[in-house]
Amino acid sequence: MLKPRALSDVLSQANTGGIGSTLLLNSEGSLLAFSGFGDKDASAAGAIASNIWTSFQKSGQLSLDDNKLDCVLVECKLGKIAITKVANLLLCLCSEDGVSFGMLKTKITALSSYLEEPLSQIASS
């Protein structure tokens, strides 16, 4: 079964080089695991990230005839966010503005690849 502390330790490995927090969300946008700095409301950010993912996935399916959304990169004035799917969950990385999109995408891809198998086992059990 899932070990919360071990999961949090794995998520924290992404929190270097300007990446402030890593979130794992379920399909409804609820926070499953969090690792990070600062006092920002991770639950609210996670819910919005989940909504963004779901909306673009649906619109892609309808309008691009492409139902496989791989990654969403969001740039805001104070930072960047990356969102991807892992097993039946969403992984979200939040970084400072100075982190480049390339690094953010590389890190989230590496982390999601690492978590895919163990989280898929949980999902299927």
Partner 1 sequence: MTEDLKSYLHKQMASVENLHAIVVTDRDGVVIVKVANQMAPDTALRQSFLSVFGIMTEQASKMGMGNNSKIINFYDRFQTVQINAHPLLLHFIADRNANTGLILELEHVLADVLQDVSKVVTMM
Q: Which residues bind partner 1 (CB under 8 A)?
A: 40-41, 44-45, 48-49, 51-52, 55-56, 59-60, 62-81, 94, 101
Extract the tokens encoding 103.
Answer: 């690094």
| Nearer Cβ to partner 1 (10/24) | 24
Given a contact cutoff of 8 angstroms between Cβ atoms, the answer to whether 65 and 42 are in contact is no
- Measured from the CB of residue 70, what is the shortest distance to partner 1 in angstroms? 5
Contact residues for 25 (Cβ-Cβ < 8 A; gap 6+): 31, 32, 46, 49, 50, 89, 90, 91, 92
For residue 85, the minimal CB distance to partner 1 (Å) is: 11
Minimum distance of partner 1 from residue 38's CB (angstroms): 9
3-state class of 7 per DSSP?
helix
Those residues whose C-beta lies under 8 Å from the C-beta of residue 95, and which sit 6 or more positions away, are 18, 19, 20, 79, 80, 81, 82, 104
Of the pair 5, 68, the CB lying nearest partner 1 is at: 68
Rounded least distance, CB 123 to partner 1, Å: 21
> Which one, 23 or 89, has the nearer CB to partner 1?
23
